[in-house]
Amino acid sequence: MAALSGDQSCVAELRATLDRRRRTVVRMLREIPGIACPEPQGAFYVYPSVTALLGRSIAGRTAATSAELAELLLELAQVAVVPGEAFGTPGYLRLSYALGDDDLVEGVRRMQQLLGSAG
């Protein structure tokens, strides 16, 4: 009962925090050439298309699938993402933004550094 009838200010605070993180991650991902990132409307993760990056040289290596791209991101940028193949949608990556602001920005910044030179 207390969870439903008690102070709900923490819910509004969390919604505002997740909204800020959502806007940040979408903006930063859209700055990476080859990534198309739709803005999620109710989730705590983004699901950008990375098909334009597949088959291109990234730090001297080529990823043919989003699973291979996820492996490159983990190895070379120390960023963990889930490849779209796990959801039956190859060519996409899933990234959660339910983590601290600083960690989120640092992770996407690492992706920008690695993928910004793709091509």
- pLDDT, averaged per 10 consecutive residues of the chain (119 residues), comes to 77 90 96 96 93 96 97 97 97 96 96 79
Three-state secondary structure of 60-105: CEECCCHHHHHHHHHHHHCCCCEEHHHHCCCCEEEEECCCCHHHHH
Whole-prediction pTM value?
0.89
User: Tell me, what's the pLDDT at 10?
Assistant: 84
Burial 29-43 (b: 16+ CB within 10 A, else e): beebebbebeeeeee
Angstrom distance (rounded) from CA 78 to CA 107: 8
